[in-house]
Structure 1
């Protein structure tokens, strides 16, 4: 092409822009827009497809290829090129109108891209940042489950960002522009959510493994296998596995998701055949299920030996197998199998998520946050509903046993000796089961007690003495002590509604939430607000509430800052006078965006602080008389001359005398501090 013709093309282009009122600057995206929220770039990017896979960066910047970049239809959030052998080049114009440099990040939130190189071109330099799963995690510019390109954008500058993409997997490109600080915070929140999902999965695995060892029912073990394999599939799908399990294995990044999906479907088919008893209920369809199991064993082997030949086949087979499981579940439901209702509803969520993921991979649906994270949402719902199915099954077994015992009693007159032998045998079986359950409750008690163990160094530094007495083996009270800096300590005490196993499960869950935020150097009221938001986001479905009190004790400044979410008032004894640390807000779990006030008290040497749950004073004797807060306050004042340990022992003895043989109705926790 002659120099004259090149100049004519440039002149024509700028005349076109002028006629329609568009300047070259208008085509650029101002990075200031990312200061408040991420900016989706898909609609603003031009695309060049290279079927030959021979073009390099210098080539695509030449005038011959500059005009071949075109607008490609996409969703608001992402491009979806499905499975393609081509290399794709994308570019977008960015500008920084600020007079200071800006730290930004280009984020591609899809972890299965083999080659993903970014070129940053401005008037001063051209910078290349290689990434993709072919690059080891430690060599990437930002170690994350997604591909993140941190860029220092010079002040008052226009720049062009190019992306080179090639992958044997489906090519999906959710591209966002982030303010670097905002993304760092988003990354922390994202890991909290991932930790919650895998924490729930681990809890379900552990609990049902215990049940399996108790009941020796293979369905519980199959459920554990299904949940475990699903969790691994999700970890591989969303990049968590690449970030933590195999940081330098392109082979696993390329093959793992479809291999794990095949394993999940195989285990789900086996679990379905066992749980729904399809061999006897629908024998013809059951034989077809066996054939599909064999197919899901053979296809992954062929897929490993010839990826490109079988990738679409195995993806379609996953969709077909999921449809088959849904179909069999529907047939069993129509035959009025009670447990099939739970199974069908549980798998419907996973089926929908799998179909959405498959259609996105084949380019039939757009790539966005729903289609990317859909399997994770579906997996969570499926886990819970299958657990309900197993629980209902166990309940049905118990009812069947009770019916059998009733029949035994009705026939007692006809065959006393024979029935007595059967009753003895069944009683022994039940006793063994109850003994095993007691042993498991004892283990749960030890686990909860260990979770409450505080560093002896902190206890000594605070001169702290505590008593923790649940009503049963496990309880719903919880406390935590941590050190914020050299002189400041933070204490949390919380009380979930109810007691026993249900309340204990909730306290263990909130411990996981609180551990993530307790070391934030924020005011207690702000920590309480974050705590309430996290609880509402993750556990509102449990229909449970809790009271909580957070105290920051500064031994150097001799001050106590606190926020109370409907918790019983703590007591501060000063020179024989009693001060109450009353509530500053409503209980946690009522609603989102609750505002908590904050109060502050000063203390001196020889002052004494008591923090406790309502089980300390809400004790009723046989006459339905309550021990009450006033009696508790009087006890604290009258025992000022005793040590903390003696005071708390005296309190427990006084409560025991007051109850006069009556059992306590609530868990009891009390912490005492001598300043």
Structure 2
């Protein structure tokens, strides 16, 4: 046997003695076959890791390989995008077993998609039995990375027909997240190209916004644009540090600075944002209490800068929570300004909503509350990009507003000069006579117009009153018809009772009263009395319903009322006239919608619309349903009347609110019903009336009006 063969045998025996116990210890680890997945789509390695916590940060690779320590690894990690250890001082060892079941060696890329990890070590066994180790991290020079990328990427070679166990050691002064994925080499490079293109777009946008607002600052000399530039630059630098872009391109040799740069950028950008908000919302004058809160947070964030520079790990979690609270406070102050109807506050909230949403998502991801994925990882970039675009529009609008004010000032100056010129020529007699003639004509036209407007108002009032009386007349006729039945029953019953009483009196007078005759009379009298009472109650209910509806329809007095009860009363008053109709009315208005408005005009509108459905929506003998529903939102009541009748053509729909337009000309239609309805809704109720329809698909009338009419401060709603 040659010396080389002896050497190989001894080496294999030694490796078996050293590593066999460790192999037994992690024999149950979940193994990923790198030859069985599509390399274009990466595989999350979270569920394949076994985890060992090193609270004292003292374990070495040799100690980890011993059976006693190897047995402490915990496997069966849940499937997730990343391992999340939150804010911790511990180091963590991650054991991973990869298998190559193919006949050829495999080249794979192991990516840890989180740049803010202070120390990352990868230990991979070599073919000669030694361990090949790579030590890098955000706190080390960029040149230490195994692959030049803003995240931590390690090329991995897997021999054919082999299982390879490798170890990762991670430690961070920030929240420790390990979103590890395994890529095919080509798939990773394709994704890398797309990633850098996206980063180029984002930072190109940042550059464009910065240059644009610097030009505005130079042109307008308004410090708010300079504050905006400072916020955008610091936020972009913080994001670049957080994503590792700055480590790759701005400070590749930085050490401790790379670990704290993103915290510094975030703190300064939020401080700048608070100053920007004070300037934009003018909080010292408009919101003095909120301005005090802003000053407190500026001081607290300034103190975090000292803590970050001296001991990041001691203040990292508290600083992240402060960022979250500051984000909520900024949004709350913006909403407070918007509530006080500050136009600039509305613009501010709209522009910064996306950015303010990105901040909490990032912090909650760092705290392990939200999962780690593409959206949560890049939440600040997404929010920052949207914010820059929206705020650019807002600042452009501000610029346009300044230009409009300048144009208005020039126009006023020109008008003043024109008036001065005219004043110098007022002595010209021809101009005076022309002015007098013009004034006379204007007065004549004004008088004619006033008279015409007065006549139109009177005519409109007369039409509304006529419509009310016509509606009331129809209501009276219907109620009178409905009263015939109980009144007839009462008359017949009373007559029968009278005859029975006379017969009974005759029997008593003759002295032939018997017990059976008395019982028979009392039984009949009791039955007829009950029938009389029921008929009287029915008539009384009809009269009470008619009385309320009649009073409301002839009055424009504002009062509180229940919307469902109002609709039920008006529908009940119309049922006698609709008794022969084959279509039905389905009222689905929820109970408890209380309004403080004008029930009479509203009831007239409802009656007119129902009568309009009766006349126009359904052909004689046709079946269908008119559905009446209502809802309340932000103090506005929406009442919907929708039928499934024959509908209207676009031409008819476009003219239904024109005076004297009717599709039943010569058949009793005046063409004023819907005109009066719209005038009542827009004039008296202070709302809107809209219609939509299509041939064969029915019609919809939507009434929107304030639940509390003008002049009343109470709020409507559901009880």
**TM-score using structure 2 length:** 0.53
Distance 1:354 1:26 in 2: 36
99, 104, 109: which one aligns with 1:95: 99
Q: Within 5 A, what are the aligned runs for 1:18-97? A: 27-71=31-75, 73=77, 76-97=80-101
Distance 1:316 1:75, change over 3 A: farther
Give the superposition deviation at 1:222. 1.6
- Show the 5 A alignment for 1:413-452: none
* Pair 1:269 & 2:288 matched: no
User: Does residue 262 of structure 2 align to residue 257 of structure 1?
Assistant: yes
- Tell me if the contact between 1:105 and 1:150 (Cα under 8 Å) persists in the aligned partners: yes
Pairwise CA distance, 1:351 = 1.2
More helix by share: 2
Change (3 A) 1:400 1:336: farther
2:346 to 341, 349, 352: 341
Paired positions, count: 404
Give a deviation string over 1:611-652, Cα, whole Å, max 9, x none: xxxxxxxxxxxxxxxxxxxxxxxxxxxxxxxxxxxxxxxxxx
331, 336, 340: which one aligns with 2:336? 331
Query: 2:678 matched to which residue of 1?
Result: none
Shift of 1:355: 0.5
Root mean square deviation, CA, Å: 2.8
Who is 1:234 aligned against?
239
Separation of aligned partners in 1, 2:247 and 2:256: 11
Q: Over residues 528-569 of structure 1, what are the superposed CA-to-partner deviations in whole Å (9 max), with x where a residue is unaligned?
A: xxxxxxxxxxxxxxxxxxxxxxxxxxxxxxxxxxxxxxxxxx
- Unpaired segments ≥5 residues, structure 1: 1-6, 18-22, 420-675
Do the aligned partners of residues 288 and 191 (structure 1) sit closer, same or farther apart at CA in structure 2, a change above 3 Å counting?
A: same
Q: Among residues 183, 207, 227, which one is paired with 1:222 in the alignment? A: 227
Matched, 1:181 2:186: yes
Higher relative contact order (CA 8 A, sep 6+): 1
Give 3-state SS (helix, strand or coil) of 1:163's partner. strand
8 Å CA contact 2:174–2:313 kept in 1: the answer is no
Distance 1:417 1:55, change over 3 A: farther
- Post-superposition offset of 1:36: 2.7
Residues 194-249 of structure 1: CA deviation (Å, up to 9, x unaligned): 11110111011111211221122222222222211111111111110001111121
Q: Equivalent residue of 1:33, what SS?
A: coil
Name the residue aligned to 1:210.
Answer: 215
Tell me the secondary structure at the aligned position of residue 158 of structure 1: strand
Q: How far off is 1:89 after superposition? A: 0.8
Asked if the contact 2:107–2:157 (Cα under 8 Å) also holds between the matched residues in 1, the reply is: yes
CA distance in 2, matches of 1:31, 1:67: 28
Question: Per the alignment, in what secondary structure is the counterpart of residue 99 of structure 1?
Answer: coil
Q: Where does 1:134-173 land on structure 2 (aligned, <5 Å)?
A: 134-173=139-178
- What is the CA–CA distance in structure 2 between the aligned matches of 1:80 and 1:209, rounded to whole Å? 41
- Could you tell me how far 1:118 is from its partner in structure 2? 0.8
Please give the alpha-carbon distance, in whole angstroms, between the structure 1 residues aligned to 2:272 and 2:55.
Answer: 40
Asked whether 1:117 is paired with 2:121, we answer: yes
Q: C-alpha displacement at 1:252, in angstroms?
A: 1.5
Is the 1:75–1:366 contact (alpha carbons within 8 Å) kept by the matching residues of 2? no
SS at match of 2:136: coil
In 1: Cα distance, 2:50 partner to 2:239 partner = 32
On the 8 A contact 1:300/1:314 being kept in 2, the answer is no
8 Å Cα contact 1:122-1:159 kept in structure 2: no
d(CA) in 2 for partners of 1:95, 1:84:
32
**5+ long unaligned stretches in structure 2:** 1-16, 425-719
Counterpart selection for 2:198 from 178, 186, 193: 193
Contact 1:74 1:366 in 2 (8 A): no
* Secondary structure of the corresponding residue to residue 182 of structure 2: strand
CA contact (8 A) 2:30 2:76 kept: no
3-state SS of paired residue (1:85): coil
What aligned pairs does 1:343-422 form with structure 2 within 5 A after superposition?
Answer: 343-405=348-410, 407-408=412-413
Report the counterpart of residue 574 of structure 2 in structure 1: none
Whole-angstrom distance in 2 between the partners of 1:297 and 1:418: 63
Larger-Rg structure = 2
Q: Check conservation: 2:43, 2:181, Cα contact below 8 A.
A: yes
Q: Is the 8 A contact 1:356 1:365 kept in 2?
A: yes
Q: CA deviation at 1:269?
A: 0.9
1:285 to 273, 290, 305: 290
Cα pair 2:48 2:76 within 8 Å, conserved: no
The CA distance in 1 between the partners of 2:349 and 2:38, in whole Å, is: 43
Q: 1:176 to 1:417 in 2, by over 3 A?
A: farther
- What does 1:475-624 correspond to in 2, within 5 Å? none
Q: Residue 291 and residue 129 in structure 1: after superposition, are their counterparts in 2 closer, same or farther (change >3 A)?
A: same
| SS of 1:336 mapped into structure 2 | coil
CA displacement, residues 93-145 of structure 1 (integer Å, 9 cap, x when unaligned): 11111211111111001111111111123675332222212432113211110
Shift of 1:415: 5.8
TM-score, normalization: structure 1?
A: 0.56
Q: Is the 8 A contact 2:47 2:80 kept in 1?
A: yes
Q: In the alignment, which of 309, 314, 333 is matched to residue 319 of structure 2?
A: 314
d(CA) in 2 for partners of 1:179, 1:266 = 43
Residue 398 of structure 1, CA deviation: 2.9
